[in-house]
Amino acid sequence: MIMEEEVLWKPLGLKLISFKKLEDGEIVGTGFLNPVLDRFSLFTMLYFQAKFYKQYSDLAQWNGKMVSNTFAPPVGSRPQFRALKALVKSHIFRVSFPLVMTFAVTYKCQCRCPHCSAAHHVRSNIEELSTEEAKRLIDESLDLGISVIAFTGGGPLVRKDIFELISYVNKRKAICHLFTNGLLLNDENVQKLADAGLYSLFLSLDSPYPEEHNRMRGVPGLFEKGVEGLQKLKSKGIFVALSSYATRSGTVKGIYKKMYEFAQKIGVQNLVLFDNVPTGAMMRDTSEMLTKDQREEIIDYTTNIFNQRMKPTLSSQAWQNSIEGYLGGIGCVAGCIQYYVSAYGEVTPCDFTPLSFGSIREEPLKKIWKRMRSHPAYKHRSQFCRMQHPKFRHAYIDPIPNDATLPFSVDKLPRVDFRKILKRPPLLRRKYEYLNNIYRKKTERESQSSSYQKALLQLCALSLVRSCWDISPLSETAQFAST
């Protein structure tokens, strides 16, 4: 099913540049000049980016330089030049260079959120990255060319050396963000964040209503402490923003609008509004995913705020996955311009995607990034969030066993381009779990080679999906069995 066509340029009745957005979120060009536009995507991206920066040229200043988006480096700064260099190289050489690392410095947290995206990541038998390991990760990330480092968790302020890690980042190369629940934003910690050179802080809010937020997080007074902490940060010159998400039921009630109105009231510079992505504790529950009509509603709301130059800026994931967002070089950033590193050093495409491509404790980050970018699921640019794409979920999320520790190794899944899936694989996850249970029982009873058992299990799993996936039977089987 295809949504209504959006025509961007139609001189003399000729449809030269136009797009249609498919039901699954993918965008296809339908205009006569669309192929030409694709060839000059770099200039299209720069045009839309310049349009945004011009619209919010008076948002803020950082060391005398213009700030139009508190997530992006200041205009004219060295980190911004690094980001532009990476984007230009990506378009010229058709190879993605990362701009952002999201680093979960710890999974320790004071909250008990039933929807936690980091749920099932915690491991009792493995130590989290040490200070020296974390610094090595920062060095390797800067060498890879990133210009933004976002520290998250868990509760990143629970980690004692967080201020040392923020200070360690070379600010001539990258800016630093921190995502937090706000509980530890006391005077002492706020001063330490300022001294460490933090660029901006994002306070995570589930609801614009204090009682609802505190109930969902399981911490009385959390809402109030977080908002109070934002005012302290502003007094120290640190940019402040809210980080929230839009659910299906909440959007019906207009909660995202209430959240924006609250952001205006307390004077933050930005509101980041994610889609409700089924991950972590809610990985199997897709009931709160936005409908396509709801995404379009949020896109229209975001566009209206932009056109009226309203403050704060609204960075909605729905808009980033829109036609305008795609032309502006955004779309799905996972494994394209962003990667996520867990508290144990495992690298995934983003903090919502529970697929591990390797560990920095075992191999260089650059090697892991290249592996991710060469994988069939990530070697192309996606206009729409993969974790909300039904075909991607059928291929890479549904087969993950319910009791698996996350992130799940991508090597245990078939190497397929999810866009080539022809139809929905029926009962795939349950069949995979059934085979996995057989494998475990046989391992306990027999003394056969574990690598042989693993290959046998993987070949069986592949045979289940070959009838549903459009893949080469010989090459894919050989490649899959060799992992």
List, for residues 300-327, the tens digit of each pLDDT value: 999 999 999 999 999 999 999 999 998 8
Residue 478's pLDDT is 30
Question: What would the two tokens of residue 363 be?
Answer: 């191999």
Q: Which of 57, 74, 137 is nearest to 346 (CA)?
A: 137
Q: What is the mean pLDDT of residues 95-108?
A: 96
**Dihedral sign (CA 55, 250, 241, 105):** negative
Separation between Cα atoms, residue 222 and residue 183, nearest integer Å: 6
Separation between Cα atoms, residue 7 and residue 18, nearest integer Å: 4
Confidence band for 3, pLDDT divided at 50, 70 and 90: low
Burial (0-12, 13-18, 19+ Cβ within 10 Å), 153: buried
Residue 42's pLDDT is 85
Place of tokens 């404790």: 361
| Pairing assessment for the beta strands 65-67 and 100-104 based on DSSP bridges | unpaired
| pLDDT tens digits, one per residue of 202-256 | 999 999 999 999 999 999 999 999 999 999 999 999 999 999 999 999 999 999 9
Q: What is the phi/psi pair of residue 62, to 5°?
A: -135, 110
Residue 431's pLDDT is 56
Separation between Cα atoms, residue 96 and residue 93, nearest integer Å: 8
Q: What is the mean pLDDT of residues 159-171?
A: 98
Alpha helices in 273-413 (DSSP H): 292-307, 317-320, 323-327, 365-374, 390-392
173: pLDDT strictly greater than 90: yes
Task: List Cβ neighbours of 420 (8 Å cut-off, separation of 6 or more).
Answer: 469, 470, 471
The mean-pLDDT minimum among 34-38, 54-58, 154-158 falls in 34-38
Separation between Cα atoms, residue 389 and residue 96, nearest integer Å: 21
Separation between Cα atoms, residue 272 and residue 295, nearest integer Å: 15
Residue 93's pLDDT is 85
Residue 435's pLDDT is 58
Length reported for the chain: 483
Name the strand (E) or helix (H) holding 9. Answer: strand 6-9
434: pLDDT strictly greater than 80: no
Q: Which of 243, 242, 313, 307 is nearest to 275 (CA)?
A: 243
Residue 467's pLDDT is 42
Q: What is the phi/psi pair of residue 178, to 5°?
A: -140, 130
Q: What is the mean pLDDT of residues 349-355?
A: 98
Burial (0-12, 13-18, 19+ Cβ within 10 Å), 15: middle
340: pLDDT strictly greater than 50: yes
Confidence band for 38, pLDDT divided at 50, 70 and 90: confident
Using the 8-state DSSP alphabet, how is residue 2 labeled?
A: B
* Phi and psi based region of residue 119 (left: phi greater than 0; alpha: psi -120 to 50; beta: remaining): beta
Separation between Cα atoms, residue 216 and residue 414, nearest integer Å: 37
Biggest CA-to-CA distance, the chain: 75
Confidence band for 329, pLDDT divided at 50, 70 and 90: confident
Burial (0-12, 13-18, 19+ Cβ within 10 Å), 444: exposed
